[in-house]
Structure 1
């Protein structure tokens, strides 16, 4: 299992607004309009409102708008990296046209697509020449290793983990690629959004404890799947908007990736997984 590494999303109010405006213009250039009445349009509007509020009162802000603005920036960053990339258009349209309450637990095709774009962005920041191809993403590995498949699964219930893992392995097999199944498990966290902790260390400890318990509950299915060669490993990623009162900004987004290899790998599988992990680790320094 990789070391948990929190990634903080923080930027100035002006920079956040500039990013949102840049994304809206880029989407329009690809004939995608962000309607003011849509879920994404409403979130983007919160960034504009917060920016104006901050300009009038630099010492204070509306926490609800700040939380919404963090979610808006989360979406904007994922979209910006994918706009114009071959194979990404369907996922982009799903996000722009769907309910995108990232603090809620409702099923959403848009949130499913955001996970795929989020991981695409993570891998790009890690230096991977990742592509949108079956199974979901394909990563050319270094050192002469083969293309590597990534089957992306966002889950809303622990009861579907085994089935989703099986489906992800089937996608890898159909694509004819070795690879990993990558889960986003945000909706399974007890504190989906707004977790209040005293320090970053406390945040890491809380998420680490929860993730260890989660993985322990599904260890048997993961073990069996990897041992029979269904995939090289399983990746989990947790994104949580949280608050640390004594930090500025107090509210931010932490992304915590976990790569779960099983010790009984074959040597080729270990080599592939190590090469893939390098991209994940590099991204933690830049996200």
Structure 2
């Protein structure tokens, strides 16, 4: 079954001390294009996370985000450098005494002096204990994005196979019309033959050779057989268990070649009409294949 490259998965852990959230997003790409954003205490785990993503997701433009946020109570701890605050306050107080200035805003001024407020310097967790909590969240998010991709793949499979079925129906219409086309060609040839046979320069052998060559150029029997085989191979490949996006792209190219050849050799308006419709269905297939793993 096909698997989409588009997906999303997330996991979250809330405790009294902190919140850890993991998000994995994926879009279509020709190869694995992976970006990872981690908190500082997990920087040494980036290689391990990258390996997990590459093995599980294989291909796509993938972004992984791990966020670690302490709760308000934790953030409030040690957010004020009290010793530095006292130093600033004392020095401001002394300066006010020296110049006879107002002391009404000394506390506010001291509080906003450099390095007194440490709200942006929250101490992060670190060590193996924290990774032991983050890793299950990464695995959970991976399971969710994989399920998302599988669900999208089921929808893509149904859509693509409807296009393949339409091409089969159009090919059956061409097969039905082909004897009529060949009979029309024979009648035209007979008419030309009657005109040429009365000519003094008419050469029977040369005429028969050219007619054989002409009929072979107009014969689309081999192209029809090859197209049937390509459609069958495409269908088999769709239901393989491994990723098949690139292989389906190659098969669709072969399908396109046979359709184009049928159109160029047929020399018939009805068949040309069916060929145009087949090309339209094939373009829809190619558009969807771009999003298949």
TM-score (ref. length: structure 2) = 0.17
TM-score (ref. length: structure 1) = 0.17
**Larger % of helix: which?**
2
Bigger radius of gyration, 1 or 2?
A: 2
**Larger % of strand: which?**
1
- More contact order relative to length (CA 8 Å, sep ≥ 6): 2
